[in-house]
Amino acid sequence: MSKQHPITVSSWTLGDQCKFEDRVIAAKNAGYEGIGLRAETYVDALNEGLFDEDILAILKKHDMEVTEVEYIVQWAENNRSYEQKFKEQLCFHMCDLFDVKQINCGLMENYSVEHTAQKLKELCQRAGKYIIGVEPMPYSGLPNLEKAWAVVKESGCDNAMLILDTWHWVRADQPYDILTKEQAAKVVSVQINDAYERPYADSILRDESMHDRLAPGVGAKDTVGFCKMLKEAGVNPNAVGVEVISDAYLAKGIDEAAKFTYDNTKKVLAEAWPEILED
């Protein structure tokens, strides 16, 4: 399996109701090489009574790494809350603690390209050596590749990059032939999954995203085609996240959710992007 592009179980795939070590064990037993943590799930681990050295010891014990850190939001607001400022600092700390180079970021609020790019520039300056990966989502202020790319370009920051997710891509009705090599060079990591043929209504589309995704390759949206697009455009991801947010999968327990998502991810990558599995 890949050490250069670790196959990573994203934080939401295993939910927010499990203990930290149980999360690590489920991921390891399924075959994953890394786990993703949100600031919230890191705080949950601390709330268990763990200290940073305990978290690192658990990871070492199970030969597992944290390879994905998220999720900075509301970064384009003129007056950001202390909660969001502190969450941002937590993400920087997590990158330092786990030696992760990129942070996944989203933006629900809708601003002009000019305003958003300026705020992204400010965030990138605060991030310093860390990469800020902005994720286009169809119900957000960065609804598609076109606007996200415009914002990243206008920011002018080397550490402003993109994160592409299968579910968000297909629910934005984007074809698999629009990603250019220039854009691909700015993709820092990817997240893969699948979706039903018919989406939820626009007004509740985010509910589908947060509760009813499918494992890669088992839905109607051609995860293989998405991965082939990434490969052919030249994407070189720091992590291949598997973000399958599914109430139905989690109802079967985190061990089953981890195993089912990993097994189907491996099938998709073996067909579409075998180099990821071999390096």
> pLDDT over 70 for what percent of the chain?
99
In 94-119, which positions are buried (b, 16+ CB within 10 angstroms) versus exposed (e)?
bbebbebbbbbbbbeeebebeebbbb
Angle CA(67)–CA(80)–CA(76) in degrees, nearest 5? 70
pLDDT surpasses 70 at 279: no
The answer to whether 175 touches 142, Cβ cutoff 8 Å, is no
For 117-147, the pLDDT digits (tens) are 999 999 999 999 999 999 999 999 999 999 9
Residue 2 has pLDDT above 60, yes or no: no
pLDDT tens-digit readout, 223-237: 999 999 999 999 999
pLDDT at residue 4 in the model = 87
- Single out the residue of 43, 95, 45 nearest to residue 69, CA to CA: 95
Residue in the block written with tokens 């169809």: 138
In tens, the pLDDT along 4-52 reads 899 999 999 999 999 999 999 999 999 999 999 999 999 999 999 999 9
For 111-222, where are the alpha helices, taking DSSP H only? Answer: 113-127, 145-155, 166-171, 181-184, 205-211
User: Average pLDDT of 59-87?
Assistant: 97
Task: Note the pLDDT tens digit of each residue in 135-188.
Answer: 999 999 999 999 999 999 999 999 999 999 999 999 999 999 999 999 999 999
Query: Has residue 192 got a pLDDT over 50?
Result: yes
Task: From 61, 62, 12, 73, select the one nearest 41 (Cα to Cα).
Answer: 12
- Give mean pLDDT, residues 104-109: 98
Pick from 172, 173, 279, 169: nearest CA to 230: 169
Length of the chain: 279
Report the pLDDT value the prediction gives residue 80, as an integer from 0 to 100: 96
Q: Is the pLDDT of residue 215 over 90?
A: yes
54-88 burial, b at 16+ Cβ within 10 Å, e below that, comes to ebeebbeeeebbbbbbbbbbbbbeeeeeeeeeebb
Task: Domain 7-278: state its class.
Answer: alpha beta
With 0-12 / 13-18 / 19 or more C-beta atoms within 10 angstroms meaning exposed / middle / buried, residue 205 is middle
pLDDT at 209: 98
Residue 46: what pLDDT?
98
**Predicted TM-score (pTM) of this structure:** 0.96
Chain mean pLDDT for the chain = 97
Please answer whether residues 217 and 268 qualify as being in contact, where contact means their C-beta atoms are separated by less than 8 angstroms: yes
Q: What is the pLDDT of residue 1?
A: 46
